[in-house]
């Protein structure tokens, strides 16, 4: 992926990793469109940054995804990079029957929303030079956090989807997976200051160094996420699963 001269659409661009990527890619000389549900948050990201634009949409709504794809390709025909970052994370207990609305919303937002948006833009992207799709998954795709089961499952499903997508589009659209560790963002309540999680700026610094490599890695993996990504291959899955759950429980209890 080239790092400048692109027109980039970033979903979930009003906060956290999406906003940080928007700011960094804009600083490198890209036109950036941030999209999400909260207009005020998107406008804060754009404030003082000429060449950055905001579009509101709801990734859980199929009609809104179709509208976004239509509007963004009409307004920005040079669009050549999509960064799928929008997502939600909910804590769920599996030891008793529960209302499944959180699980259903997580699947629609994280998995189906990403598939729908890719589908809505693919006919446009295959016509563009240097076309790229970056999809944010998670280290939890590889070692699950027991308290967020549906979130883990959506990210694992996206990892598999990305592999197939990469092969189907080889030579036409570059497919990149960005798999973060736990990062200090507002993905869950209190996470922005949660001990044991990677500071956002440090995470983005390392990510941008990886994006600058030639060729760009097919998987953007900071050092901190590699124990999760390679736990099964390294024979450390059970230990990593237990340590992850213990770390997360202690971090939440400390707040």
Provide the token pair at 187.
């993905």
- Mean pLDDT of the residues in the chain: 96
Q: 70 pLDDT exceeds 80?
A: yes
pTM above 0.85, yes or no: yes
The neighbour count for residue 154, using CB atoms within 10 Å, is 28
Structure confidence at residue 96 (pLDDT): 96
Single out the residue of 232, 209, 233 nearest to residue 221, CA to CA: 209
Structure confidence at residue 253 (pLDDT): 81
Instruction: Grade residue 191 by pLDDT with cuts at 50, 70 and 90.
Output: confident
Provide the token pair at 116.
């729908």
CB of 98 within 8 A of CB of 92? Answer: yes
CB of 25 within 8 A of CB of 6? Answer: yes
Report, in angstroms and rounded to the nearest whole number, the Rg of the chain calculated over CA atoms: 18
- Which of 151, 161, 197, 203 is flagged as catalytic? 151
Q: Angle formed by the axes of helices 62-75 and 113-125, to 10°?
A: 30
Give residues with Cβ within 8 angstroms of 96, minimum separation 6.
none
Structure confidence at residue 195 (pLDDT): 86
Structure confidence at residue 252 (pLDDT): 79
Report pLDDT digits (tens) over 209-237. 999 999 999 999 999 999 999 999 999 99
Active site residue 151: yes
Is 11 or 255 the better-scoring residue by pLDDT? Answer: 11
Report pLDDT digits (tens) over 107-144. 999 999 999 999 999 999 999 999 999 999 999 999 99
Report pLDDT digits (tens) over 131-189. 999 999 999 999 999 999 999 999 999 999 999 999 999 999 999 999 999 999 988 88
Mean pLDDT score, 40-55: 96
Report pLDDT digits (tens) over 78-108. 999 999 999 999 999 999 999 999 999 999 9
Cα separation, 89 vs 156, in Å, equals: 14
Cα separation, 3 vs 78, in Å, equals: 15
Structure confidence at residue 255 (pLDDT): 66
Structure confidence at residue 143 (pLDDT): 98
Task: Domains for the chain: give ranges and CATH numbers.
Answer: 7-253 (3.40.50.720)
Three-point CA angle 171, 173, 179, nearest 5°: 115
């Amino acid at each position: 992926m080239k790092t400048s001269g692109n027109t980039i659409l970033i979903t979930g661009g009003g906060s956290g990793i999406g906003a940080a990527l928007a700011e960094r890619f804009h600083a490198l000389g890209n036109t950036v469109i941030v999209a999400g549900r909260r207009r005020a948050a998107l406008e804060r990201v754009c404030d003082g940054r000429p060449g950055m634009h905001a579009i509101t949409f709801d990734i859980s709504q199929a009609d809104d995804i179709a509208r976004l794809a239509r509007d963004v390709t009409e307004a920005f025909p040079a669009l050549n990079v999509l960064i799928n970052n929008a997502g939600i994370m909910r804590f769920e207990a599996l030891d008793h029957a529960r209302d499944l609305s959180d699980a259903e919303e997580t699947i629609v937002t994280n998995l189906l929303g990403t598939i729908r948006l890719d589908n809505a833009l693919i006919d446009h992207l295959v016509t563009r030079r240097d076309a790229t799709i970056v999809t944010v998954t998670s280290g939890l795709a590889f070692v699950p956090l027991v308290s967020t089961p549906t979130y883990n499952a959506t990210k694992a499903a996206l990892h598999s989807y990305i592999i197939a997508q990469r092969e189907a589009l080889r030579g036409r659209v570059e497919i990149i997976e960005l798999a973060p560790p736990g990062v200090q963002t507002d993905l869950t309540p209190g996470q922005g200051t949660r001990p044991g999680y990677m500071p956002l700026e440090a995470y983005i610094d390392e990510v941008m160094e990886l994006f600058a490599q030639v060729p760009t890695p097919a998987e953007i993996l900071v050092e901190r996420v590699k124990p999760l990504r390679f736990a099964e291959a390294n024979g450390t899955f059970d230990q990593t699963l237990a340590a992850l759950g213990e770390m997360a429980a202690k971090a939440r209890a400390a707040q």
